[in-house]
Amino acid sequence: MATEKKIDKSNEVFIKINESYEKFSKGQKLLADYIRENYDKAAFLTAAKLGSVVGVSESTVVRFAAALDYQGYPDFQKALEEMVRNKLNSIQRMEVAYGRISQSEILSTVLQSDADKIKLTLEHIDKKAFDTAIDILLHAKHIYVLGIRSCMPLANFLSFYLNMIFDNVHLIQTSSASEIFEQMIRISQEDAIIGISFPRYSVRTLKAMEFANNRNAKVITLTDSIHSPMNLYSSCNLIARSDMASIVDSLVAPLSVINAMVVALCMKKQNQVVNTLETLEEIWDEYQVYSNDEINFAEENMSIKNSYLEKGI
Q: Encode the chain (313 residues) as per-residue pLDDT tens digits.
A: 444 444 443 467 888 888 888 888 889 999 988 888 787 778 778 888 888 888 999 999 999 999 988 888 888 888 887 777 656 555 555 555 555 566 777 788 778 878 888 988 998 899 999 999 999 999 999 999 999 888 999 999 999 999 989 989 999 987 776 789 989 999 999 999 999 998 778 888 999 999 999 999 999 999 988 878 888 889 899 999 886 555 567 889 999 999 999 999 999 988 888 888 788 787 877 777 666 554 454 455 555 445 555 555 5
Residue 119 burial (CB count, 10 A) = 12
Q: What pTM was computed for the model?
A: 0.64
d(CA 111, CA 236): 30
Contacts of 93 (CB under 8 A, 6+ apart): 244, 246, 247
Burial of 172-209, coded b for 16+ CB within 10 Å and e otherwise, reads: bebeeeeebeebbeebeeebbbbbbbbbebbebbbebb
Domain positions in the chain: 12-84, 120-268, 275-310
CATH class of the 12-84 domain in this structure? mainly alpha
Q: How far is CA 72 from CA 62, 67, 68, 79, 237, in A?
A: 7, 10, 10, 11, 27
Q: CATH number for the 120-268 domain, one of 3.40.50.720, 3.30.1370.60, 3.30.465.10, 3.40.50.10490? A: 3.40.50.10490
